[in-house]
Amino acid sequence: MHTMSQAPTFNKPSTPSNQGNNQEEQPNLQQTNSEHEALLPEREPRGPPNAPVVIFCISCITFIGSYLGGLVTVSVPQISSDLHLSPGVELWPVSMFALGTGCTLLISGAISDAVDSKATLLAGCFLQSVSSMACGLAQSGTQLIIFRIISGVAISLCMPSAMSIIAEQFPSGKLRNLAFALMGSGQPIGFGVGLLLGGVFADTVSWRWGFYSAAIANTPVLLLSVWQLPARTSKQQGVSWRNIFFGIDWIGALTASAALALLSYALAVITDNVSKIHESSTIILFCLSIILMSFFAIWQGQQEHRSRPTLIKNSLWKNSAFTCICANVFLIWGAFNAFEQIANFFFQDVQQLSVFSTSVRFIPVTVMGVLTSLVTGMILHRVRADSLINWATILSSLSPLLIAIINPAWTYWRSAFFAMCLNPIAADVLFTVSTILIAGMFPAETQGLAAGVFNTVSQFGRSIGLALVALIANGVTDKYAQSENKESPGALMVGYRAAFWFLFAMNIASLVVSSIGLRKIGNVGRQRSSEV
């Protein structure tokens, strides 16, 4: 009987004061649950809520930058003919882009850290749209080369800031690995699509439509990025002008940029005309570049000793993993891009194929690049990074070897197809692994600079690789064809064959470096316990 009378009291609705107490208790309950969930070791750290859209935007920006590279690579003969470029500056639309990118990457990375990664990325994306349209409208070779330099600067703003956004917004783990891998996959996809559509445009409407299409595609990506890319957290928001002026090592940045600019220009000169390597102006450029680089190293040492802002601490070079991964990026990316350019010449100049037929032969590069990036992102946290890099390098080293021993009369499927498939494997594996390793060696507040270091090394490798293979190919051809036409397919093939043997040697050198210097790095890209 008493229990019956107490029942209504148990089911009695809460009074307003009781409701307030219940509301106060609920968050505490949720907080307790979240604390217990945070202790679960299997929980994967999450990125931003719109992570797929963020990765899509960043990958698209990377895609368009590489798309322009593939477009120019395959369209060089038509561009040179239409704009009346002399043989000495035929490759300048390619090499001057590398100059604009390489000499501003460190500054762009530092600005990204001091200002804001998103703002820097959007500025670069906007500049990329404008410069792409300007390249399509260029009426002279000088105009095109200037606009290509501006395009290089645009890419230098995009790449470090894009990698910085991933490092800032995605905790260590599988999702960050996949984000870096998908960003990396934008490069082979973009380059391959650029080669393919560049061949279509060059053989139909005009090579100019390649640049127009890049500007048109870049505009919606820019608008989506404005809307969807995450801003920095509340602790990071706000631009300190004092930090911009005094928190960046401007002396080191300007010195490094000037050294790379002089070196890139000297390499561009000798790439197009081997005989200019003996000219006094070229020698002076090389000497000034070496002097500035030496000053940069000394300056960085003094800045680090005084605990002042530095770009690349000299003590980092004592870390064998950092030094070896930079050497690998230099060698592998140099060999990868030089292979693409020489293979393009092989198909067009030796096998006498049209631009479109040549571009179709690069489709396997795109497909294998995408597959390699995706697989790397998914298995990196489970596989030893050094083993992954070594096996990838072994496979890619077979690519220049297959073309070095090829008979130009062979069909595409007998040897060249396999060379195209194998070439991007090492470059795309190394992109994901090296970005994670280098980002982990820099403080959280300097991730843009870390990305700038990676891209500077890779861009430097591209410039050196292209210059060296051009020197070797032209030198061997000149020596072989003393009594015959140097432009004949037979004479050119002798030089190209020597260049492919050199690229094979670059891959083997990279394999030696990674086998010795990276054997202790183990697994990378795992989620850290502090982020679980």
Residue 295, C-beta contacts closer than 8 angstroms, at least 6 positions apart? 255
* Burial of 54 from C-beta contacts in 10 A (0-12 / 13-18 / 19+): buried
Q: Cα separation of 305 and 313, whole Å?
A: 10
What pLDDT score does 179 carry?
80
Q: Mean pLDDT: which of 113-122, 127-136, 423-432 is highest?
A: 127-136
The structure tokens listed for 211 are 């640049």
pLDDT band at 41 (very low <50, low <70, confident <90, very high): very low
The answer, yes or no, to whether residue 496 has pLDDT greater than 60, is yes
Cα distance from N-terminal residue to C-terminal residue, the chain: 54
Task: Record the pTM.
Answer: 0.73
Neighbours of 372 (CB within 10 A): 25
Q: Cα separation of 404 and 121, whole Å?
A: 40
The structure tokens listed for 148 are 């290509």
Using alpha carbons only, how large is the chain's radius of gyration in Å? 26
Dihedral (C-alpha) 37, 38, 39, 44: value to the nearest 10 degrees? 100
Q: Which domains are assigned to the chain?
A: 51-232+240-527 (1.20.1250.20)
* Burial of 380 from C-beta contacts in 10 A (0-12 / 13-18 / 19+): buried
Give the C-alpha distances (Å, rounded to integers) separating 343 from 116, 337, 470, 494: 40, 10, 12, 13
Angle (nearest 5°) at CA 229 between 225 and 234: 145
What pLDDT score does 16 carry?
42
What pLDDT score does 443 carry?
65
The answer, yes or no, to whether residue 355 has pLDDT greater than 70, is yes
Q: Provide the mean pLDDT of the chain.
A: 78
Crossing angle, helix 416-440 and helix 320-345, to 10 degrees?
150
Q: Cα separation of 300 and 513, whole Å?
A: 25
Dihedral (C-alpha) 197, 200, 203, 208: value to the nearest 10 degrees? -40
* Burial of 168 from C-beta contacts in 10 A (0-12 / 13-18 / 19+): buried
Q: Cα separation of 164 and 124, whole Å?
A: 14
The answer, yes or no, to whether residue 508 has pLDDT greater than 90, is yes
Q: Cα separation of 499 and 506, whole Å?
A: 11
Helices (H) and strands (E) in the chain, counts: 19, 0
Residue 49, C-beta contacts closer than 8 angstroms, at least 6 positions apart? none
| Least reliable range by pLDDT among 137-146, 179-188, 291-300, 349-358 | 179-188
55-67 pLDDT per residue, tens: 888 888 888 888 8
The structure tokens listed for 15 are 């009074």
Reading phi first (left if > 0) and then psi (alpha if -120 to 50, else beta), residue 484 is in beta
Q: Within 13 Å of residue 509, how many CA atoms lie on the same side as its CB?
A: 15
Residue at 466: amino acid letter: L
Q: Is 387 strand, coil or helix? A: helix
| Least reliable range by pLDDT among 295-304, 313-322, 363-372 | 313-322
- High-pLDDT (> 90) share of the chain, %: 13
Smallest CA-to-CA distance from 284 within 257, 299, 263 is with 263
The structure tokens listed for 369 are 């690049």
